[in-house]
Structure 1
């Protein structure tokens, strides 16, 4: 199985992730030890907070890519956008980086954002041909409602949770909620969101072992390989729409 981490911050010197080349290399080694063989590197972009130039990101990405290859990991470049008013315009002008040049866009919101704000922003992305991946859904106060997550999924939004939340790093209630979303098949991706060697280490190995016991190997393969393939193979909108319809039909039968 080609375990894929679609959301992490391992490129050094571009955001609040890896702080040095040495830390980056150690993080990559930890990912490999967890069984990860593909990584989408997703440096932050947030106006006035993280606005690293594309040239600098590309330069440090190439160095990270080389280090990853040495430990047996294939890398791809993406971005984690913080929602801002000019995002859609910048995407259209190719000023922002989608996930591996696909139609997928990884996006985060403020924890206190209203659900209407989240839904409307994601709808605009969908209406313009993009496929939003809602980063770490468990962080948003107004998304801690199964019906609201279902509404977003039915729209075509892809839902991502952090492995740490499933392991209890944000408390028992968040852990239980995330597992409930999994039981109701409302999760598309589980990612490490790894940043460093202290507070936010790579952790997919632990969650994969737990999920294989709880959900079986076929489910784990779907979450960690088949769904990431939709990004990496850059499938067209029609095939993505067909996949969404099939998923919604399966949920309706639950």
Structure 2
């Protein structure tokens, strides 16, 4: 699997504490089936992250992991939407995914549907390809579905962890049902663990891979697990 959403870079955001934890998160991800990972530290308008610092720390992680695990690592940001986001993308202050035109965007959980639609239009009009991070978490998208945001040109990333919480009630139950429906309807494009730390939100993906391989059309399963993410590296539109 190609994991496009992670917080494996230490001392940047609320993710990994140190280099050793970064390496342990990567090891766990690889053991469960990841072959490539995009590091996406948070970018908030009030707390911007420095692209040069992200790249330098990722290079340190790659050097430390050089002979240990067979995995490809790439840089990016997960951006909490704000009105001048496109200007900061264009100036290079925000990292796109693997230096492509794809950008990973999140919203406040209770963000209005109209704001989400406006964000997609703005990012598209600026020449970038928005990916909605962990789309299953947003109330407005749960209520309105994914058809309209996809028609506007947004791509959809779903989280792997809820597919490992089958049979539970509450938050994960709702998210699991949303994710399963989106995948069965072929309305998702990418997967991500959104891993942060070993003791809090570690990578959980093996059950998700198994569920996808059992329940989905083979070509679509291959696309959502790997192929679509490879298109990010080529900076190509998926559809």
Indicate whether the TM-score tops 0.5. yes
Query: What is the rounded CA distance, in whole Å, between the counterparts of 2:66 and 2:181 in structure 1?
Result: 36
Which of the numbers 105, 117, 120 marks the counterpart of 1:119? 117
SS at structure 2 position matched to 1:17: coil
Change (3 A) 1:201 1:217: farther
Match of 1:166 in 2: 163
How many Å separate the matches in 1 of 2:218 and 2:20? 34
| C-alpha spacing 1:99/1:107, structure 2 compared with 1 (3 Å) | same
Q: Distance in 1 between matches of 2:194 and 2:34?
A: 13
Extract unaligned runs of 5+ from structure 2.
Answer: none
Distance in 1, Cα, partners of 2:96 & 2:58: 15
- 1:63: which partner in 2? 60
- State TM-score, norm by structure 1: 0.87
Describe the superposition over 1:146-186 as per-residue Cα deviations: whole angstroms up to 9, x where unpaired: x5411011111000111112333832122112111111111
> C-alpha distance in 1, partners of 2:89/2:187?
27
Q: Which residue of 2 aligns with 1:16?
A: 14
Q: Deviation above 4 Å: which 4+ runs of structure 1?
A: none
User: Hey, what's the Cα distance between the residues in 1 that align with 2:126 and 2:185?
Assistant: 28
C-alpha displacement of 1:205:
1.9
Which structure has the highest helix share of the two? Answer: 1
Instruction: Tell me what 2:127 maps to.
Output: 129
Taking the TM superposition and a 5 Å limit, the aligned residue runs for 1:142-153 are 142-145=140-143, 147-153=144-150
> Which of residues 96, 110, 113 in structure 1 aligns to 2:108?
110
User: 1:112-160 CA deviation, whole Å, 9 max, x = no partner?
Assistant: 1100001101111111211000001111111103x54110111110001
Once residues 30 and 165 of structure 1 are traced to their aligned partners in structure 2, the CA distance between those partners, rounded to angstroms, is 17
Number of residue-to-residue matches in the alignment: 234
- Which residue of structure 1 lines up, in the alignment, with residue 39 of structure 2? 41
Corresponding position of 1:155: 152
Q: 1:39 to 1:200 in 2, by over 3 A?
A: same
Q: What's the Cα RMSD here?
A: 1.5
**SS where residue 39 of structure 1 aligns?**
strand
Counterpart CA distance in 2 for 1:79 and 1:35 is: 23
Distance in 1, matches of 2:57 and 2:219, equals: 35
